[in-house]
Structure formats: structure tokens, C-alpha cells
Amino acid sequence: MTMIQRPRGTRDFVPDDMERRRSYENILRKEAVKFGFREVATPIFEESELFVLKSGPNILNEIYAFKDKGDRDIALRPELTAPVMRMVVNELSNEPKPLKLFYFGQCFRYERPQSGRYREFFQFGAELVGTANPESDAEVIALASSMIKALGLKDYKLRIGHIGILRQRIVSAGVPEGNIPEVLQKLDKKLYDEAEALLLTHKVSKQTCRDIFELTETVGGTDVLEKVNDSSAAYLKEVVGLLEAMGVSAEIDMGVVRGLDYYTGMVFEAEAPALGAEKQICGGGSYSLTELFGGEKVFSTGFAIGFDRILLAMEKEGMEFKRTPIDVYVIPVSESTRTQSFAIVSKLREENISADIDLMGRKMAKAMKHASTVGARYAVIVGEKELAEDSVTIRDMVSGDQKTVKIKDIAKTIH
């Protein structure tokens, strides 16, 4: 018989994996709530047009798109910003602004699986919907920084740019507005030869090309903005000033482009050097999408954290996750004590004590070994002699000490 394998680019998460993942998910959730954000969820599949409107028709080559049984064009979501903005238009357009929303879920892209990248992957993100101002941008960047810090990642860097600075430089070079996104996409990936070829077709001089490329390599403090005397640079200075007031450290990087048409102003990324060349763990910026989905134009700022990527970075930094052990493992010594043992384990659970019980009829030595294997803090041994006196034996699995206590006092003793 053929063993059926999981689909390529997906993973199974065993109990240890899930405990680790849920623990880190909850850390991110707590940080978002601390900043006044509230959780939302959207369907795993949407109309394909939603993603085409946001990213263009070529996105269909990269995602799981198909016809459903009603002949509708459906796609598994490749990211979560578009679905959340669609939800804002459908469900929340009359709510007072700003809307502070966060989400966590799986996404799907049909691409070649590699280290830290899968066809089914998970994103944790946030969107602040309402207005484009330095305060909103700083608030969102501060949340992203706080989330990364709360997870315990030690070596990471925040880089901030403004797409308006580079866009204006390209416009001034004579590139038509409709061709700018293609140039930005090349610059985002540092494909300078391809970017130069595009610029030369619009009669941009080689010297101007070099000046534009040099701008994308400009990195440093706010002093680097002195090279750019326009409103975008002044705006970015204000964002950085607010971040400094909140204790968030970030560097200016004119090369943060993001390469997506819908970004309108500030853009930022977070990277973890532990990941090597593919070191980005978070990306975002300010944008406008609601008008594409039938709503009024509303400016937003948001980001997405690659959950799988950041867990990999933590692993590469040597961070170890300590699982939460079960409090108590109940061991019936004989068949005659089994029923009472189930009553005891049930009572412990009612007292908010995590408790398990031997279901395999193991002998005492093997049952104790299993209690140790599952990481139980205490073993409650239910013997006939003790039971006759309404008592049990409690063994400390760390020290090996044990004592007899009344059944009614088990929970108090454990607590």
C-alpha cells in the first residue's frame, strides 16, 4: 500500500511544534492588544479579482487560483492585506477612524519551496486605517518593533525609507508615471542592470541612472536626508523623531522600496542577519487600497511579519523553547483503584490543574517512567491501602520526595 505524503511545500506540526507556535502567536497577540489593536479574520479563499486588482494579472501565475463548482474564479489568499481591506470596505466603512486591526493566518503561494519559504505559510500583521500622518506611521513601526523584541529576537534591524523620494527622482529624470512601478520593482530587488535598461529606454542619461542607484544605496541617520530637500524627507524626519521619543531605533535607508504599486509614502522593513541573504522578516508601509475595492479612498499604514521566517531566525540565534509540562500524572496502582483515579483526575482538572492519567494499564515502574517522559511535575499514585484511608501518594518528579495526603487536599498541595 502506498503511503500518502503531505503536499510539497507544506508542513505537519506535531504537538511540540504547535505548543511552540501557539506560545509565540500569543506573544504577538498580546503586543498588538497592548497597542490598542483588535483581531480580525477573513476567509482563506477570496474572489481572484481581489488579488488581481491589488497586484496585477501576473499574480495569477504565482497563486492557487481555480474555478469553483459554481464556475466562479476563486483563489487561496497569497497575503492578508487585500482581504482585510476588502473587509474594511464591506463591514467597517462607517466605523470611527482610526481602525486598528491585527490578524494571523495562513497564506498560499505556488513557488519553489526553500529554507524558511513554503507554499503554505503564516503571516502576522496589522493595519492602521484612517489617515496618512507621521503619528500613524510611527505607531505602526513601533508595534512591529515591539512584537519582534517581545519574541526575544536579539539581532534585528529596522530600516525606514519613503517611496516618494525615489519616485520623485525618477519622475524628474523624465520617466512617464505609468512606467515608474516597473522601475521601482527592479530597484527593490537591486537589479540595477535591468533598471538601467528600462531607464535608458526613456532617454535617461547614464549619469542620472548612477545617481538614482547611488540614492538607493544611501543608508544612515537623519543626516542622510540632507541630500534630499523635499517634503518626503521632512516627513521622514518627523517619523524618526517620534520613533526616538518611543525608544525605537531605526536607520534611514533610501533603498527600501517595497516594489509594490499601492505603497504611497513611508516604507519600512525589518531584517534578521541570522537568516543570511534572505534576511527580511517584516515589511510594510503606508498605502491606499480601499478605492480599488469599491470604497472611499482611505490611507492606511500596515505591515506583515513572516511568522515562519522569524521563528527560523530565532532558532538560528540559538533560542530554545521550553514546553509547559503537565502538572500531574495520575497512576492507578491496580484495577480496583482505576475508577477512583478517574474521579481524582477529573477533580484536579476542575481545580484548573493540568492532569493526565495512565490509560494503558502500565505497571508502576513503566507508568512512572511515562510520567517523567511527558514532563509531569507531580505523580499522584492511587493505591488500595491509601485509598482505604481517603488518601493518595504524591511524588515530586524533580526531587523524588513523596508524601501521603488526603484526597480532598490534593489540589491545595499541588497549588
116 pLDDT more than 70: no
Residues 164 and 224 in one domain: yes
Domain of 369, in residue numbers: 328-414
Residue whose C-alpha is closest to residue 267's, from 368, 403, 363, 165: 165
In eight-state DSSP terms, residue 272 is: -
Place of cell 525606514: 160
pLDDT of amino acid 258: 64
Cis amide linkage into residue 113, ω under 30° from 0: no
What are the two backbone dihedrals, phi and then psi, of residue 181, each rounded to the nearest 5 degrees?
-55, -40
The CB density around residue 65, as the number of other CB atoms within 10 Å, is: 18
In eight-state DSSP terms, residue 263 is: E
Q: What is the dihedral of CA 362, 364, 367, 368, to 10 degrees?
A: -170
Place of cell 492602521: 128
For 302-314, write each residue's pLDDT tens digit. 999 999 999 999 9
Please say which residue of 281, 316, 351 terminates a domain: 316
Q: Nearest 5 degrees, angle CA 180-CA 184-CA 188?
A: 175
Residues 344 and 279 in one domain: no
Residue whose C-alpha is closest to residue 53's, from 296, 288, 283: 288
CA distance 267 to 145: 14
Residues 40 and 101 in one domain: yes
Considering the domain boundaries, does residue 1 fall inside one? no
pLDDT of amino acid 121: 94
Chain centre to alpha carbon of residue 187 = 26
For 334-352, write each residue's pLDDT tens digit. 999 999 999 999 999 999 9
Residues 237 and 351 in one domain: no
C-alpha cell at 30: 498580546
C-alpha cell at 338: 482505576
Residues 302 and 334 in one domain: no
DSSP assignment of 336-402 = GGHHHHHHHHHHHHHTT--EEE--S---HHHHHHHHHHTT-SEEEEE-HHHHTTTEEEEEETTT--E
5 pLDDT more than 60: yes
Q: Where are the beta strands (DSSP E) in 130-186?
A: 157-162
Residues 6+ positions from 346 with CB-CB distance below 8 Å: none
CATH of the domain at 185: 3.30.930.10
Considering the domain boundaries, does residue 260 fall inside one? yes
DSSP assignment of 79-110 = -SHHHHHHHHHHHSTTSPSPEEEEEEEEEE--
CA distance 12 to 297: 41
290 pLDDT more than 70: yes
For 168-217, write each residue's pLDDT tens digit. 888 888 888 777 777 877 887 778 888 888 888 888 888 888 888 888 88
- Cβ burial of 165 (10 Å; 0-12, 13-18, 19+) is buried
Considering the domain boundaries, does residue 162 fall inside one? yes
Residues 235 and 355 in one domain: no
C-alpha cell at 305: 511579519
Considering the domain boundaries, does residue 321 fall inside one? no
CA distance 234 to 225: 8
Considering the domain boundaries, does residue 116 fall inside one? yes
Please say which residue of 316, 343, 360 terminates a domain: 316
Give me the residues paired with residue 101 across strands: 38, 127
**Least confident range of 34-43, 146-155, 223-232, 249-258:** 223-232
Considering the domain boundaries, does residue 104 fall inside one? yes
Residues 362 and 289 in one domain: no
Considering the domain boundaries, does residue 243 fall inside one? yes
CA distance 41 to 22: 17
Rg (CA), the chain: 28
Chain length of the chain: 415
Residues 153 and 297 in one domain: yes
Residues 363 and 303 in one domain: no
CA distance 229 to 186: 25
333 pLDDT more than 90: yes
Residues 107 and 161 in one domain: yes
259 pLDDT more than 80: no
CATH of the domain at 393: 3.40.50.800
Q: What is the dihedral of CA 89, 95, 105, 21, to 10 degrees?
A: 170
Residues 269 and 303 in one domain: yes
CB 128 within 8 A of CB 63: no
CB 265 within 8 A of CB 235: yes
- Cβ burial of 12 (10 Å; 0-12, 13-18, 19+) is exposed
CA distance 153 to 156: 7
CA atoms within 13 A on the CB side of 69: 0
Please say which residue of 316, 343, 375 terminates a domain: 316
- Cβ burial of 326 (10 Å; 0-12, 13-18, 19+) is middle
Residue type, 23: S
Question: Number of folded domains in the chain?
Answer: 2
Residues 258 and 334 in one domain: no
Considering the domain boundaries, does residue 8 fall inside one? no
User: What is the mean predicted confidence (pLDDT) over 229-239?
Assistant: 86
pLDDT of amino acid 293: 92
